[in-house]
């Protein structure tokens, strides 16, 4: 959105194949400077992307104009991550040009799929948080809500994962090597961001004492705009990502004196800020760079909104009428003192009035229950890098503590426990507390998560402000994760219930009667079989992994973390393998176990777990006893693009985190919506999936959250489970003996020792229940008709998990923003 008052532009009609072909050849010739006969695949991709982009750009400009004319309230989504996936297919789908493009490209003797495969997805996120942000901005545009997503244009996104001897190796994710036709840079709209220095008091012209921040250094944030098209609505919103540049990139005098490195040092220092997604922060330098990133993007975003989205001369006292800043987790919380600084120090708005504005303009989404994931910043670091912001946080906290002491005059311990400033083990700012104190609303992302957030994580705050806390269960966009990812299922659903369901996912309920229709079940089974074949073909071409197609595809795709319990899944695989070794004639359902996961570069035990999974897979692959009955596949570099082929092929969805640890999960929703049955604990959104699809269509196991807490409180002894369970003892004993590490007992000893002596996430406690549930899975899968019936009911009953519904909940419970119709 900008202040431009350009007249609306009517979109050019590219629905006609001849017109589309003409535009494509024109973009190839005048955009890429080549004729069709000499065009590379990248030339073809750019020409096609720009042809489709042309259709969206006119709608984009019209959307901006109409939203400004309406003086609409804008949802500003502040997120450090956006896992967008490939843009070409999404743009074709949203604009309704897929069929036209296929025909036009085909008429030229070209392969559209090959052109699509040229695109490199921007890996600007780590996992679920970034993918959720991408789903949400898609739904905001589809629901016609005026919105801007703000984030960072990381030069290198999440690392590209490779394996060497089964161990994860991180390679740079050079997603910008061939450029991107989807971004629009605007260096003329750069924002200056200041760091470090000191503050000083002075008297303003009105005689009021004010504060001035004298910074030591600064960088420029350059905006790169991306279009976010709504699905066949005509509305196109904006995603604005910031890239850091030096204010003085090159010192010619120093260069001429022969010090070439010093001449470009300022540029390199500044560009580090947007260089890498989540720099390793185990060092002081890494921590500082991460805080620089967070402040950099929110400072750019708030300044951009105030200067370039609001009309000239807008009265900032009315700011709550025009914006809600949604803080996607704790990363953007530094935006609160930044807006306070602008209002108080630059706009001369009195403190109390400014704070009241902020309390109406910010809302906070908490995405975790793990204490270590709730960010705290050392006072020393924050004060050194952002001295004025620390002063503002101190004052907010002092006033809040004074308020608490009035409310709880005899409970100083409660007051201190709620302080934004942590005193032990060292002084630090608790960003989740700051967001809760100032934010208008705090929401969790699943019913169980929101309850635990109120009852255990932010207990005192929810008691003090019960109306401030609410729940918005996460959702996923059906456009990408069914419409694009599963064309066979999309066609089957449309043929059965008609068009329009991709914008109204509740309509999937109309499929329920067909769960007992033999013809429909046969068609559904054929779609699933085709998806397995598609995945097998991709993995053979991409990774050299050969998969049997007449097996159950048992899928676990998610970030590698101990609480997600990939080790529990691995113990099940080892147990099945040992059963077959003991009895080669054992009748089991053939299974392909597919993993997709990246471990954070500094998370050593997670990286060892990846190595163990690959080691077990290698041994199983080389054992003729299990040939064709068990297969472990771990394709490297799991991302959105791979997910779009892998998820539709899944038969069984592994959602086995320890109850009370997963905030929500969205992989569980994607898999269920594509007809995979879930085996899972009562954790995160599993609880709501179970309720939606019914107990007969879900394989439940494991401890409940209260039982988990009871075990923790009584003093968990994982060795007791190991000693009393023969199959567990045998499975874990095989790993310890070196059976999967060429006889070397030391290779995976840290994993074994961690499970036996600590087992923070109770994998051994849940092992037997999990094995029994997996045995039920084996039995159920033998009756393919009944299995497919359950799979269809999963699809039919998962409409609730659309991100459109999530966004509507935000609108109703938190944002109070209205749609603006464009097309």
**Helix residue spans in 544-636 (DSSP H):** 566-582, 604-621
Contact of 554 with 562, CB cutoff 8 Å: no
- Residue 382's SS3 state is helix
Q: CA gyration radius for the chain?
A: 27
What are the helix and strand counts (H, E) for the chain?
A: 33, 25
End-to-end alpha carbon distance in the chain? 17
Catalytic residue among 160, 480, 534, 670: 670
Phi, psi of 565 (to 5 degrees): 65, 50
Query: In this structure, is the dihedral angle defined by the CA atoms of residues 390, 399, 76 and 190, taken in order, positive or negative?
Result: negative
Phi first, then psi: give them for residue 342, nearest 5 degrees: -65, -45
**Taking the mean position of all CA atoms in its chain, how far away is CA 165?**
29
- Whether the CB-CB separation of 599 and 610 falls below 8 Å is answered with yes
Q: Can the peptide bond before residue 425 be classed as cis, meaning omega within 30 degrees of 0?
A: yes
Are 479 and 502 within 8 A, CB to CB? yes
* CA atoms lying within 13 Å on the CB side of residue 718: 18
* Active-site residue identified among 331, 454, 559, 598: 559
Instruction: Tell me which of 59, 131, 430, 558 is the catalytic residue.
Output: 558
For residue 27, give the 3-state DSSP assignment: helix
φ and ψ at 261, to 5 degrees? -70, -45
- Is beta strand 677-680 parallel, antiparallel or unpaired with respect to 698-700? parallel
Give the H/E segment covering residue 529: helix 518-543
Q: Phi and psi dihedrals of 686, rounded to 5?
A: -55, -40
Q: What gap in Å lies between CA 21 and CA 803, rounded to an integer?
A: 34
Map tokens 């490209």 to a residue: 105
| Active-site residue, from 50, 367, 528, 534 | 367
Q: Please pick, among 534, 564, 598, 607, the residue that the annotation labels catalytic.
A: 564
Q: Is 242 helix (H, G, I), strand (E, B) or coil?
A: strand
Residue 2 annotated among the catalytic residues of the structure: no
Handedness of CA 469, 473, 479, 485 (dihedral sign): positive
> The tokens of 613 are what?
């999974």
DSSP one-letter string for 131-197: HHHHHHHHHHHHTT--EEEEEE--SB-SPEEEEETTEEEEE---TTTT--TTEEE-GGG-EEEEES-
Strand spans (E) along 301-354: 323-328
- Choosing from 63, 98, 118, 666, the catalytic residue is 666
Q: How far is CA 320 from CA 68, 279, 324, 441, 658, in A?
A: 16, 34, 7, 14, 40
666 is catalytic: yes
Q: Which residues are catalytic?
A: 367, 558-559, 564, 666, 670
């Amino acid at each position: 959105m900008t202040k431009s008052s350009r007249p609306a532009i009517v979109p050019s009609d590219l629905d006609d194949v001849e017109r589309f072909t003409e535009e494509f050849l024109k973009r190839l010739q005048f955009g890429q400077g080549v004729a069709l006969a000499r065009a590379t695949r990248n030339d073809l991709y750019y020409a096609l992307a720009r042809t489709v982009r042309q259709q969206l750009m006119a709608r984009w400009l019209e959307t901006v104009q109409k939203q400004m004319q309406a003086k609409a309230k804008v949802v500003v989504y502040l997120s450090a991550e956006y896992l967008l996936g490939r843009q070409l297919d999404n743009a074709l789908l949203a604009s309704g040009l897929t069929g036209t493009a296929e025909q036009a490209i085909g008429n030229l003797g070209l392969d559209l799929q090959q052109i699509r495969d040229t695109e490199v997805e921007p890996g600007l996120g780590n996992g679920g948080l970034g993918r959720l942000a991408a789903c949400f901005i898609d739904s905001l545009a589809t629901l016609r809500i005026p919105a801007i997503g703000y984030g960072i244009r990381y030069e290198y996104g999440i690392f590209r994962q490779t394996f060497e001897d089964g161990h994860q190796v991180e390679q740079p994710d050079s997603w910008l090597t061939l450029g991107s036709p989807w971004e629009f840079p605007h260096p003329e709209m750069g924002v200056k961001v200041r760091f470090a220095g000191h503050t000083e008091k002075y008297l303003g012209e009105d005689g009021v004492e004010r504060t001035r921040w004298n910074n030591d250094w600064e960088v420029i944030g350059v905006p790169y705009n991306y279009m976010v098209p709504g699905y066949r609505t005509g509305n196109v919103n904006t995603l604005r990502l910031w890239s850091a540049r030096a204010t003085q990139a090159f010192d010619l005098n120093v260069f001429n004196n022969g010090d070439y490195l010093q001449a470009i040092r300022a540029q390199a220092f500044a560009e580090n800020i947007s260089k890498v997604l989540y720099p390793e922060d185990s060092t002081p330098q890494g921590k500082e760079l991460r805080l620089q990133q967070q402040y950099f993007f929110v400072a750019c975003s708030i300044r951009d909104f105030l200067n370039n989205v609001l009309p000239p001369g807008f009265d900032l006292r009315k700011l709550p009428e025009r914006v809600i800043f949604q803080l996607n987790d704790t990363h953007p919380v530094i935006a609160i003192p930044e807006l306070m600084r602008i209002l108080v120090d630059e706009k001369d708005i009195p403190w109390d009035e400014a704070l009241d504005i902020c309390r109406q303009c910010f809302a906070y989404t908490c995405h975790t229950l793990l204490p270590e994931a709730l960010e705290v910043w050392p006072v020393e670091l924050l004060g050194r890098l952002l001295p004025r912001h620390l002063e503002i946080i101190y004052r907010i906290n002092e006033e809040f503590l004074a308020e608490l002491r009035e409310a709880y005059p005899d409970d100083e311990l409660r007051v201190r426990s709620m302080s934004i400033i942590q005193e032990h083990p060292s002084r630090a700012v608790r960003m989740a507390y700051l967001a809760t104190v100032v934010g208008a609303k705090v929401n969790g992302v699943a019913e169980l998560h929101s309850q635990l957030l109120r009852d255990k994580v932010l207990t005192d705050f929810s008691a003090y402000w019960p109306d401030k806390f609410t729940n918005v269960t996460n959702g996923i966009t059906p456009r990408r994760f069914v419409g694009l990812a599963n064309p066979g299922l999309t066609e089957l659903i449309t043929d059965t219930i008609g068009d329009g369901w991709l914008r109204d996912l509740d309509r999937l309920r109309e499929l329920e009667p067909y769960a007992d229709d033999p013809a429909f079940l046969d068609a559904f089974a054929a779609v699933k079989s085709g998806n397995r074949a598609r995945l097998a073909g991709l993995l053979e071409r991409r990774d050299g992994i050969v998969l049997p197609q007449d097996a159950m595809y048992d899928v676990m795709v998610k970030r590698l973390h101990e609480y997600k319990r990939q080790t529990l899944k691995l113990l099940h695989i080892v147990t099945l393998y040992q059963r077959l070794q003991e009895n080669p004639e054992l009748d089991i359902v053939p299974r392909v176990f597919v993993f997709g996961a990246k471990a954070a570069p500094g998370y050593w035990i997670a990286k060892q777990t990846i190595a163990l999974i690959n080691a077990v897979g290698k041994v199983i692959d080389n054992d003729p006893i299990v040939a064709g009955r068990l297969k472990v596949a771990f394709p490297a570099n799991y991302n959105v693009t791979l997910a779009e082929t892998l998820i539709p092929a899944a038969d069984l969805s592994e959602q086995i985190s320890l109850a009370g640890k997963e905030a929500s999960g969205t992989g569980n929703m994607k898999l269920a919506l594509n007809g995979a049955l879930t085996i899972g604990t009562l954790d995160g959104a599993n609880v709501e999936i179970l309720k939606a699809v019914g107990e007969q269509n879900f394989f439940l196991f494991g401890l409940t959250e209260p039982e988990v807490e009871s075990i923790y409180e009584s003093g968990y002894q994982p060795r007791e489970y190991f000693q009393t369970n023969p199959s567990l003892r045998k499975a874990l004993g095989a790993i310890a003996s070196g059976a999967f590490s060429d006889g070397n007992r030391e290779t995976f000893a840290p994993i074994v020792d961690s499970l036996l002596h600590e087992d923070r996430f109770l994998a051994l406690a849940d092992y037997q229940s999990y094995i029994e549930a997996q045995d039920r899975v084996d039995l159920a899968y033998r009756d393919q008709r009944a299995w497919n019936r359950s799979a269809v009911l999963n699809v039919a009953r998962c409409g609730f998990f659309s991100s459109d519904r999530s966004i509507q909940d935000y609108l109703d419970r938190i944002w109070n923003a209205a749609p603006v119709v464009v097309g």
